Amino acid sequence: MIVTKHATKRMAQRSIKMSEIDLIITLGTCKPRPGGAVEYYIKRENISSMISELKHIMKQIDRLANKAVLMTNNRIKTVYHKT
């Protein structure tokens, strides 16, 4: 992702880290804006449900230890337990 000089300056002024921007883009609401731009934002009323969803994902991640997926050309060939 390319960050403009303007955005870099605003990030510094507003104490917004790149890791926070990544989360806003990944988890936030997407809204089309004039000129072909897209705005991403986190709604305060959605935070509780987002936290619940992330806790569920964390439980799933815990189950993924030593599991693998083998792919070629964007096709899943097989899945297995990695020892």
Q: Which run of H or E residues covers position 78?
A: strand 75-81
Q: Is 0.75 topped by the overall pTM?
A: no
- 69 vs 77: CA distance, rounded Å: 8
Count of domains forming the chain:
1
Among 75, 77, 81, 1, CA closest to 38: 1
The structure tokens 């917004």 sit at 16
Containing domain of residue 39, as a range? 5-81
Cα–Cα distance measured from residue 53 to residue 18, given in angstroms and rounded to the nearest whole number: 22
* Mean pLDDT score of the chain: 95
The predicted model gives 32-59 an average pLDDT of 94
